[in-house]
């Protein structure tokens, strides 16, 4: 392992970990401002995590080892998945980056979260887990189709290779990436449990999906679960940003270029976060059984990407 | 003959955008956004005509672009929006035969069928890959518009389906059959009259003459009683 890979392995997950609370905070602030409230401070999520890490853990007496192990597994899988999407620079090695494995790592993390929701035996947890699995199984074909479209357009299944190809070309060489970008945006919204699909701010039993699953978690474990979903969102955002607007990503690791690339990425990430906040404010939550309509748009766009590429 | 330089790339980007708007025309429920989507689609079409003009230097292309931009990009959407003042509903949530999800799936299949059936004759008919692409997308857009017509229940959204269909025909015409400019003009005039008549019919069909006059007055059309 050369130092380039070593720097990458340390830096990429760390970047996602550090940035994800800020992204969540910014989305909250944007939404609050649009609603005419001052909203919490942008750094609120960091304080929240610090508070949670200093609290004690309470387990339901019906819970088993899954509840105790789940959050660790969740964050571990998410950090591994974050290695697959280069955020600051593109590593030299071909060790990681298969897009199909990337999505399955994320799904495995979700699987343990769902088990955790069922484990405590509360009705809310079970309900949340059931809904989460329903939504996941509907979005699954869409995700696979988008992967296929990306792989088909860029002629590779490795995410770093895709970014390298994109950096060399321009949007005009791959016009269909606009469509894949919209698909990825919809996947981002679904996977990070945001408004038209789920409402991250409510604890109303009728609407919550993600929140219902983690109701029984407490203290540092809850902090880990929240960090994991933050990282999931950041990583997907990075994928979307680098597919549609890769410029600024460093091709090689050098101190100055790394710093510049990190700052550029952070800025792009925050712009996307503000866009997500705006998008959430413009839409109302979609009724649960209408969700497939929303996902179908993503499926359609990925499908016509493939047909379009056949045509070219 | 089209050289596949920057113009070709630009047209491909515009094609992609047209397909994107088509997807949303099929699924969009709010009427106001539906009209805006149609306007955006028409502006993109006008842009395609301008890019083609830059390549071919045929003046009629420029006129088509201008006509499309003014009539379909602004006048027809503005007229449709004015009907919303009178219309009791702002959202079209009724669908017959097909749900939006299944019509989306069906339109993907349609695109594929059009592609396969056209690729058999591509060698003879199309001088250029880009023209083939334009032909396929034009016909698919027309078929998608047709699907909107039969899957929507509200007459106003059926009109948008009809307009989308016409956009598809225009796209097909831009790339395949060189229509004389006068025919384009006549088509647009026809279209405009049809929209005026059908929107007026759409919300007047269930009312008496007196009530109908009142509704028209709200639209800004004066009638002597």
pLDDT band at residue B4 using 50, 70 and 90 as cut-offs? low
Instruction: Name the nearest CA neighbour of A301 among A143, A138, A134.
Output: A143
Q: Is the pLDDT of residue B225 over 70?
A: no
Q: How far apart are the first and last CA of chain A?
A: 41
In which element (H, E) is residue A279 found? Answer: helix A255-282
- Inter-chain residue contact B104 with A299, CB threshold 8 Å: yes
Instruction: Cite the DSSP H helix spans in B3-128.
Output: 6-27, 31-56, 59-67, 76-86, 100-125
Q: Is the ipTM of this complex over 0.85?
A: no
Taking only the tens place, the pLDDT of each residue in A198-226 is 888 877 777 788 888 888 889 999 999 99
- Inter-chain residue contact A300 with B24, CB threshold 8 Å: no
Q: Is residue B163 part of a domain?
A: yes
pLDDT band at residue B205 using 50, 70 and 90 as cut-offs? low
Interface contact A186, partner B, CB < 8 A: no
- Give burial (CB, 10 Å; 0-12/13-18/19+) of A290: middle
- Inter-chain residue contact A307 with B129, CB threshold 8 Å: no
Q: Is the pLDDT of residue A65 over 50?
A: yes
- For Cα atoms A60, A65, A67, give the angle at the middle one, nearest 5 degrees: 55
Per-residue burial over B137-167, b = 16 or more CB atoms within 10 Å of its CB, e = otherwise:
bbbbbbbbbbbbbebbebebbbbbbbbbbbb
Distance from CA of A245 to the nearest CA of B (A): 15
Rounded to whole angstroms, the Cα distance separating A149 from A143 reads 10
Pick from B9, B24, B115: which is nearest to A311 by CB? B115
- Inter-chain residue contact A175 with B112, CB threshold 8 Å: no
Q: Is residue B223 part of a domain?
A: no
Q: What are φ and ψ of residue A89, in 5° steps?
A: -145, 160
Q: Is residue B177 part of a domain?
A: yes
Q: Which of residues 32-51 of A touch B (CB under 8 A)?
A: none
Taking only the tens place, the pLDDT of each residue in A264-286 is 999 999 999 999 999 999 888 88
Instruction: Name the nearest CA neighbour of B82 among B217, B225, B222, B224.
Output: B217
| Stated pTM of the model | 0.87
Q: Is residue B82 part of a domain?
A: yes
Q: Which of A105-109, A191-195, A254-258, B178-182 has the lowest mean pLDDT?
A: B178-182
- Percent of chain A at pLDDT > 70 equals 99
DSSP 3-state assignment of A98? strand
**Domain coverage including residue B153:** 6-88+96-218
Rounded to whole angstroms, the Cα distance separating A24 from A20 reads 6
Distance from CA of A298 to the nearest CA of B (A): 10
Is the CB of residue A233 less than 8 Å from the CB of residue A205? no
The structure tokens 């959407």 sit at: B77
- Give burial (CB, 10 Å; 0-12/13-18/19+) of B123: exposed
Taking only the tens place, the pLDDT of each residue in A8-37 is 899 999 999 999 999 999 999 999 999 999
Taking only the tens place, the pLDDT of each residue in B24-35 is 888 888 888 999
Pick from A297, A307, A308: which is nearest to B23 by CB? A297
Rounded to whole angstroms, the Cα distance separating A29 from B104 reads 35
Total domains in chain B come to: 1
Q: Is residue B146 part of a domain?
A: yes
Both tokens assigned to A3: 């130092």
Rounded to whole angstroms, the Cα distance separating B74 from B220 reads 18
Q: Read off the DSSP letter of residue B95.
A: B
Q: Is residue B68 part of a domain?
A: yes
DSSP 3-state assignment of A245? coil
Mean pLDDT of the residues in chain B: 82
Q: Is residue B225 part of a domain?
A: no
- Inter-chain residue contact A293 with B100, CB threshold 8 Å: yes
Is the CB of residue A172 less than 8 Å from the CB of residue B9? yes
Instruction: Name the nearest CA neighbour of B211 among B223, B197, B199.
Output: B223
Q: Is residue B1 part of a domain?
A: no
């Amino acid at each position: 392992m050369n130092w380039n890979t070593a720097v990458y392995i340390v830096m990429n997950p760390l970047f996602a970990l550090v940035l994800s609370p800020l992204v969540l905070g910014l989305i909250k602030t944007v939404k609050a401002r649009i609603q005419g409230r001052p909203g919490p401070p942008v750094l609120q999520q960091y304080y929240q995590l610090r508070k949670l890490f200093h609290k004690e853990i309470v387990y339901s007496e019906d819970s088993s080892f899954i509840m105790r192990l789940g959050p660790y597994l969740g964050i571990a899988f998410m950090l591994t998945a974050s290695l697959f999407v280069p955020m600051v620079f593109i590593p030299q090695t071909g060790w990681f980056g298969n897009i199909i494995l990337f999505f399955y790592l994320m799904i495995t993390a979700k699987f343990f979260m769902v088990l955790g929701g069922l484990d405590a035996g509360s009705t809310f947890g079970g309900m949340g887990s059931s809904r989460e699995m329903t939504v996941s199984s509907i979005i699954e074909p869409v995700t696979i189709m988008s992967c296929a479209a990306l792989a088909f357009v860029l002629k590779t299944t490795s995410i770093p290779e895709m970014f390298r190809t994109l950096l060399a070309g321009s949007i005009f060489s791959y016009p269909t990436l606009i469509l894949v970008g919209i698909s990825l945006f919809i996947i981002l919204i679904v996977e990070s449990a945001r408004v038209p699909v789920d409402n991250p701010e409510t604890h109303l039993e009728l609407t919550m999906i993600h929140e219902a699953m983690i109701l029984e978690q407490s203290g540092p474990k809850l902090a880990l679960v929240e960090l994991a979903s933050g990282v999931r969102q950041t990583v997907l955002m990075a994928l979307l940003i680098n597919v549609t607007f890769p410029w600024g990503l460093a091709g090689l690791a050098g101190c100055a270029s790394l710093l510049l690339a990190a700052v550029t990425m952070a800025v792009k990430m925050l712009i996307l976060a503000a866009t997500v906040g705006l998008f959430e404010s413009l839409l109302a939550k979609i009724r649960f059984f209408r969700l497939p309509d929303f996902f179908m748009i993503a499926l359609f766009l990925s499908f016509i990407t493939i047909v379009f590429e056949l045509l070219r | 003959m089209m050289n596949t330089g920057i113009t070709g790339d630009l047209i491909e980007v515009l094609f992609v955008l047209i397909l994107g708007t088509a997807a949303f025309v099929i699924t969009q429920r709010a009427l106001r956004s539906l009209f805006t989507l149609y306007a955006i689609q028409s502006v993109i079409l006008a842009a395609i005509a301008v890019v083609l003009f830059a390549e071919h230097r045929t003046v009629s292309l420029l006129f088509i672009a201008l006509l499309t931009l003014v009539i379909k990009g602004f006048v027809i959407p503005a007229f449709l929006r004015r009907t919303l003042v009178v219309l009791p509903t702002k959202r079209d949530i009724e669908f017959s035969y097909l749900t939006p999800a299944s019509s989306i799936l069906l339109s993907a299949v349609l695109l594929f069928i059009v592609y396969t059936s056209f690729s058999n004759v591509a060698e003879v008919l199309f001088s250029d890959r880009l023209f083939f692409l334009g032909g396929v997308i034009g016909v698919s857009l027309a078929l998608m518009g047709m699907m909107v017509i039969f899957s929507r229940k509200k007459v106003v959204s059926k009109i948008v389906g009809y307009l989308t269909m016409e956009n598809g025909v225009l796209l097909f015409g831009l790339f395949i059959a060189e229509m004389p400019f006068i025919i384009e003009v006549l088509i647009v005039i026809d279209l405009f009259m049809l929209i005026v008549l059908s929107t007026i019919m759409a919300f007047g069909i269930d009312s008496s003459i007196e009530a109908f006059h009142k509704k028209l007055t709200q639209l800004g059309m004066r009638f002597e009683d």
